[in-house]
Structure formats: structure tokens, C-alpha cells
Amino acid sequence: MITEPTQKSNTSAVAKTKKTTSATKKRSATTKENKKIKSIIAYAKTFEGTRYKYGGTTKKGMDCSGLVYTSFKKEEIVLPRTSRAMSAQGSKVSLRNVAVGDLLFFKTNKKKNVISHVGLVVTVGNQVKFIHSSTSKGVTVSSLDEKYWNTAFAWARRIL
């Protein structure tokens, strides 16, 4: 937000220009991040329908963290290879503030009570939808409104 200086002088115009330039730089960085996020999601979607394969990172087979790892790596963002290690990256985000490009983490094994699954948010609004690789459906888009995923949800994190 650009605020007007309270005093009128030549220095006021300089201060206003510096603030405007700073705001413009911020928007440029955000635009770059938005382009990266769109590219990451678009790449992840190219794997839709790929079968699940533990440890997989290709169209021959993909696991959940492999999908996220591979998609971010295409934009030269290197994340850890496992969902548990990924769950410590970036910054925590509340579910009400989750945005496209954020990562959702799940505890799907209640006995172990540890992060065991990750998904990449592709849409927000009425529903939060995420792309991931499930053992039953392979790479697919699911909704956080689905009872299974809602119950298993642990937290969200923002990388970009």
C-alpha cells in the first residue's frame, strides 16, 4: 500500500517515488512466483492418470512426494524427496489462508501418527482441491472435502 506523505515538499515526491518503486518490485516478485506456481501445477497435471509406484518419479509410476518433488524441481526448486521431510519446508499456513501452489500434508497411518502423504493445491474457493498420487487412483485431483482426506489432513505449508 502506498501512503501519501503528510508534508508537501520535494522530499515528499522522492519518498513517494521510492515507495512506488518498492511496491512495483514486490509485485514483480509476486508475478514471477505466480508464473512458477502455474508452471509447477501445469507440469504436475501432465502426470494425471499415471499409476502409483512407491519411489516413482516418472510417467511409468509416481508416488505422492515424487510428484511434488519432480514438479518443483522443473522450476529449479529442490525439495526433500519424502513427504515427511517436505513437511518441514517453507512456512506453515492456516487452512483458511491456503493458496494455489501450497502443499497439504496428511497423516494417513493413524497408528504411526506421522506425515505420510503430500498433495499440491490446484484450486481454492468453495473447495480446496489438490493433485497427488494415491495408491488406489494414481495421480489424481481430490478435494479436501472428501471425508478420508479431511480426516487425515495435518497441515499446510507454503514454499513460494
Give this prediction's pTM.
Answer: 0.81
Report helix, strand or coil for 125: coil
90 carries an active-site annotation: no
Domains of the chain by range and CATH? Answer: 10-158 (3.90.1720.10)
The grid coordinates listed for 71 are: 514438479
**How confident is the model at residue 151, as a pLDDT?**
96
Q: Which of 36, 129, 132, 157 is catalytic?
A: 132
pLDDT along the chain (160 residues), means of 10: 37 36 43 92 98 98 98 97 98 96 95 95 96 97 98 97
Q: What spatial distance separates the first Cα and last Cα of the chain, rounded to whole Å?
A: 21
Task: Give the Cα separation of 125 and 96 in Å (integer).
Answer: 10
- Contacts of residues 111-114 at CB distance under 8 Å and 24 or more positions apart, as own/partner, are 114/84
CB of 44 closer than 8 Å to CB of 71: yes
Alpha carbon 149 to chain centroid, angstroms: 17
CA-closest candidate to residue 129, choices 86, 99, 90: 99
**How confident is the model at residue 12, as a pLDDT?**
36
108 carries an active-site annotation: no
Q: Which of 37, 40, 64, 139 is catalytic?
A: 64
**How confident is the model at residue 29, as a pLDDT?**
54
50 carries an active-site annotation: no
**How confident is the model at residue 1, as a pLDDT?**
38
Q: Which of 36, 117, 129, 157 is catalytic?
A: 117
